[in-house]
């Protein structure tokens, strides 16, 4: 049995690799014309050649979409196929699973509730959810949910992707997941360390419903999706399908590609279950970073990393409320963002602190939940750091 608690971060290590076979990178129909020259060429080249071929002869990624936005220009491009059988092109504005980028949406809702005085980030969770967690977790605060300091373990699932695929249509409630998690031992005293898992956000789903009287998906739509005019973003609940234009997701299993596009995401409520698009994630990222969704005090909370150590590595913490502090660029600007992975899909958002320069990507990696990353993702990250 494996305790599922793998971190999902926008890694800054660039994965090397030889040039891939020739492939077509198509600028999206909504891409802005470059101001001068092919300034976006590093990103165009980073996603070229899909589907590629890995060591086993199967693709490590079947498709990729990237959007880079700067204060005066932007570029959107895609590569690969939407369906390996038909070879159909990746449609414009293709939708995809965003995995743990969902946490940025959930954190925004909780911080909005704090701004409205409907909850206190530093109050014990038991004030709002009495009886949900046992005595060893009495020190857990609302803030701990958002910056991964609860000490809560993750549920245990059988090893292997085969079991995951066989059970991909199973349904869970947040309360069921909490009960499953609590059969394992507490990891640390709440507040004393940081351990990136889904559990704080699963509890946040319960908290949002208790405080507002509505499911977290309703609040995300009411507070974020509708005000920003997001067209392709939703919380799917128990619906396993990606509706509208999208590229299929695949997973390599026993030397073959398995289509894993249809998958019930209820095992990651409020933590990794949402669907979106490049355009919508870019609009959301800019709105959050530039203070259109949060007052100044709560926006500062989103960009504050606690002064504790990581539970696994012993390094200083890097996660804030819904985001990750990624790197300081040579120009002195800090990049913040969030990545996420579900089987068949790997996505990320990142931006400079002022929100002026942003990147969003989706890669249909065929081992999206592995500890490593597909070569295409490494190339995207390497190119993006030189352009932000």
Non-local CB neighbours of 74 within 8 Å, separated by 6+ positions: 31, 32, 67, 68
Token output for 378: 């490494």
Angle at 173 between CA 170 and CA 179, to 5 degrees: 105
Distances (CA, A) of 226 to 212, 231, 282, 284: 17, 9, 15, 11
Distance CA 156, CA 377 (A): 29
For the domain spanning 2-385, the CATH number is: 3.40.710.10
pLDDT at 7: 39
pLDDT at 37: 64
pLDDT at 30: 33
Distance CA 47, CA 275 (A): 21
Distance CA 357, CA 298 (A): 22
Q: What is the chain's pLDDT, residue by residue, as a tens digit (388 residues)? A: 333 333 333 433 322 222 222 234 444 433 333 444 689 999 999 999 999 988 889 999 999 999 999 999 999 999 999 999 999 999 989 999 999 999 999 999 999 999 999 999 999 999 999 999 999 999 999 999 999 999 999 999 888 899 999 999 999 999 999 999 999 999 999 999 999 999 999 999 999 999 999 999 999 999 999 999 999 999 999 999 999 999 999 999 999 999 999 999 999 999 999 999 999 999 999 999 999 999 999 999 999 999 999 999 999 999 999 999 987 777 777 899 999 999 999 999 999 999 999 999 999 999 977 777 889 999 999 898 888 8
pLDDT at 3: 34
Distance CA 270, CA 30 (A): 30
Q: Establish whether the linkage from the previous residue to 262 is cis, with ω within 30° of 0.
A: no
Non-local CB neighbours of 169 within 8 Å, separated by 6+ positions: 240, 262, 263, 264
Token output for 186: 């507490």
Helix (H) or strand (E) holding 347: strand 345-352
3-class SS of residue 256: strand
Token output for 180: 């499953």
Of residues 170, 165, 169, 158, the one with CA closest to residue 250: 165
Distance CA 337, CA 325 (A): 7
Residue 228: Cβ within 10 Å count: 17
Token output for 294: 């949060």
pLDDT at 129: 98
């Amino acid at each position: 049995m494996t305790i599922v608690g793998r971190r999902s971060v926008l890694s800054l290590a660039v994965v090397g690799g030889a040039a891939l076979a020739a492939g077509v990178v198509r600028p999206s129909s909504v891409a802005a014309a470059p101001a001068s020259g092919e300034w976006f060429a590093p990103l165009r080249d980073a996603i070229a050649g899909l589907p590629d071929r890995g060591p086993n002869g199967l693709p490590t990624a079947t498709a990729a979409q990237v959007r880079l936005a700067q204060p005066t220009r932007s570029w959107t491009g895609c590569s690969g196929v939407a369906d390996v059988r038909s070879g159909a092109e990746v449609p414009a504005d293709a939708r995809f699973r965003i995995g743990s980028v969902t946490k940025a949406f959930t954190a925004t809702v909780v911080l909005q509730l704090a701004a409205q005085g409907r909850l206190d980030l530093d109050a014990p969770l038991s004030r709002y959810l009495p009886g949900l967690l046992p005595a060893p977790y009495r020190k857990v605060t609302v803030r701990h949910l958002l910056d991964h300091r609860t000490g809560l373990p993750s549920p245990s699932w059988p090893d292997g992707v085969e079991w995951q695929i066989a059970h991909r249509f199973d349904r869970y409630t947040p309360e069921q997941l909490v009960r499953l998690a609590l059969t394992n031992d507490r990891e640390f005293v709440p507040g004393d360390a940081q351990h990136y898992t889904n559990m704080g956000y699963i509890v946040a789903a319960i908290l949002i419903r208790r405080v507002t009287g509505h499911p977290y998906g309703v609040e995300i739509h009411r507070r974020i999706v509708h005000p920003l005019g997001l067209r392709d973003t939703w919380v799917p609940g128990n619906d396993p399908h990606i509706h509208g234009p999208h590229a299929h997701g695949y997973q390599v299993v026993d030397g073959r590609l398995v289509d894993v596009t249809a998958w019930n995401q209820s095992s990651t409520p409020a933590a990794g279950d949402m669907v979106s698009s490049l355009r919508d994630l870019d609009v959301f990222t800019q709105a959050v970073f530039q203070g259109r969704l949060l007052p100044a005090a709560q926006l500062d909370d989103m960009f504050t990393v606690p002064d504790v150590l990581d539970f696994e590595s012993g390094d200083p913490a890097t996660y804030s409320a819904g985001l990750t502090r990624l790197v300081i660029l040579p120009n002195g600007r800090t990049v913040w963002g969030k990545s996420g992975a579900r089987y068949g899909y790997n996505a990320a958002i990142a931006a400079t602190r002022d929100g002026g320069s942003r990147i969003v990507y989706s890669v249909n990696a065929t081992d999206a939940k592995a500890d490593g990353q597909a070569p295409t993702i490494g190339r995207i990250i390497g190119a993006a750091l030189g352009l932000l």
